[in-house]
Structure 1
């Protein structure tokens, strides 16, 4: 077990944490720029270059893998799978299928409309809508590279639980009548599922890498920039007073602050990393990340075009309450993950 553990630690350090990249960037900053990474300016430059390159490398590899898997589950096939399963099993399957879809909530809403017009139960479609931006293989691997396996796996698990519970509650409340009428009237045409060969799947996956990188690069830069500022310029005492353990409302504040923002999980991770380094509770950090990805203001505006206000408010209330409960629970039992 000792040898296996050492091999795993080596692979984790070199492939996920990319310690080789950390050292290369350190040499660049110290030898070429003549700055110490222990000082504010040098530390900020090192943080920005290292995290940016690391995220884009991981993104490119993981998006390719995820897209290759996703090529086996086009929306038409997903609708057929979900249409044959009802109840809690349907919510669980909807949440799981949400993990292999696009990375932001806005891009998931058109698929949500397709599911609704196809007559799928509302609870299942909402389980899908919640899990799609929150949980995927990419978020698992990148979270693992920054925070370790325990926190990464815990994030994925609670994200799926939130999706299943949220969808189940909406289903039990019987809110189908609050879906806009035109959505139900959209003609549902089941396109023939075209089987791709290996070459076509690879081509599709490459296209997805370029498309998603094009969509998220700005948010990654902004997130890394904010993370560098938090990590090197904002005093520890300020962070602790605002979102640290000294503030009993830190989880609620992190959730509220996260909602108006628009980014995917990859843009939030550098901010989360910096907050984590400053000693902010893991529950507070997860609440911020979940609020940004699941309840971003632009995606809520888009959702308001397909559901009526009452359903929108119920959706936001359920997800926000779930995020807050998750945040306080993780802060309370943080010793399990450290």
Structure 2
């Protein structure tokens, strides 16, 4: 068991966490005469290290995930979802969301397509919640920073929110709250040509380039904010605002995250810095979930597809689920960190 633990620690710290890169950057900066123990030097080191680490992991993960996704084009996904009924359909939709686009704005067109195809509304909402909140990329990136226990629980709780939220929306019978042009739309069943390995790799690489261009600005902004929090904001301030002495920290973090627009790759460095400064685990994870699931731009897009009543219920269900999960993570933090 000790040998397995040693191997896992090496994998998590040196492969996923890329601590060797951090040490290398520190050595190079020191050799250039920059003091990495000072605020400026430490900020530069944090920025360079986190940017390279996230973009490298992002590229590898998107390549793998996009290759898998090439087996699930929209028409095939619709057929798969159409075979299941009841809560199993919600579970499959939530799981399917883990291998689809990385932000809510990219997921909404698929949600519209699934709804137009006649899939149950609750099923399509399970997909819409899961897709930006939980994906294979988030599992690996969270593992590289917070450890496997936090990463696995984050994904499980995210899937629970997606399944429960979709099931509740289905029970409320809100189909008349979908805009008519979507309810009356028709899906054309286009035969999918069989792709070969080279075609799938080409598709995966195109997704890497396209996604990297799309998320790079948010990663840079997120890492910049993280570096600022990590080295310039006093620890006492973070602990007071988001630590255990503030019982409303989870609610505050969820609300603060909503107006922002980023994906999980841009929010992770902020969460990492907040946690290092003394913020509670549930607080930083609620912030991440709020940003990725309920960002203002994605809600504006979703309003074009659904009426205000359904949009409000969707926001309420997601926010309530995120807050509950946040407090739950706070309660079990001492067991998993």
Q: Shorter-normalised TM-score: what interval? A: over 0.9
Alpha-carbon shift at residue 187 of structure 1 (Å): 2.2
Partners of 2:277 and 2:229 in 1: how far apart? 8
Match of 1:74 in 2: 73
Closer, same or farther: CA 220–197 of 1 in aligned 2, 3 Å = same
Task: For residues 148-180 of structure 1, give each alpha carbon's deviation from its aligned partner in whole angstroms, at most 9, with x where no partner exists.
Answer: 101111110110000000000000101011000
Alpha-carbon shift at residue 2 of structure 1 (Å): 2.4
Give yes or no for the alignment of 1:92 onto 2:91: yes
TM-score, normalisation: structure 2: 0.99
1:4-153 maps to which residues of 2 (within 5 A)? 4-32=4-32, 34-153=33-152
Alpha-carbon shift at residue 111 of structure 1 (Å): 0.5
Match of 2:222 in 1: 223
> Larger deviation: 315-324 or 182-191?
182-191
Q: Residue 271 of structure 1: SS of its match in structure 2?
A: helix
- In structure 1, runs of 5+ residues without a counterpart are none
Partners of 2:64 and 2:113 in 1: how far apart? 25
> Larger deviation: 2-11 or 179-188?
2-11
Match of 1:250 in 2: 249
Task: For residues 278-328 of structure 1, give each alpha carbon's deviation from its aligned partner in whole angstroms, at most 9, with x where no partner exists.
Answer: 111110011000000000000000000000000000000000011011111
Alpha-carbon shift at residue 184 of structure 1 (Å): 1.5
Alpha-carbon shift at residue 232 of structure 1 (Å): 0.2
Alpha-carbon shift at residue 241 of structure 1 (Å): 1.7
Match of 2:3 in 1: 3
Partners of 1:40 and 1:3 in 2: how far apart? 38
> Larger deviation: 183-192 or 293-302?
183-192
Q: CA RMSD in A?
A: 0.8
Match of 2:261 in 1: 262
Partners of 2:39 and 2:57 in 1: how far apart? 26
Match of 1:201 in 2: 200
TM-score, normalisation: structure 1: 0.98
Partners of 1:7 and 1:269 in 2: how far apart? 25
Alpha-carbon shift at residue 7 of structure 1 (Å): 2.0
Partners of 1:187 and 1:83 in 2: how far apart? 15
Partners of 1:56 and 1:333 in 2: how far apart? 31
Partners of 1:10 and 1:313 in 2: how far apart? 46
Match of 2:233 in 1: 234
Alpha-carbon shift at residue 12 of structure 1 (Å): 2.1
Partners of 1:155 and 1:190 in 2: how far apart? 35
Task: For residues 102-126 of structure 1, give each alpha carbon's deviation from its aligned partner in whole angstroms, at most 9, with x where no partner exists.
Answer: 0000010110011001100000000
Alpha-carbon shift at residue 4 of structure 1 (Å): 2.5
Match of 1:311 in 2: 310
Match of 2:209 in 1: 210
- In structure 2, runs of 5+ residues without a counterpart are none
Partners of 1:325 and 1:224 in 2: how far apart? 27
8 Å CA contact retained: 2:12, 2:147: no
Q: Residue 37 of structure 1: SS of its match in structure 2?
A: coil
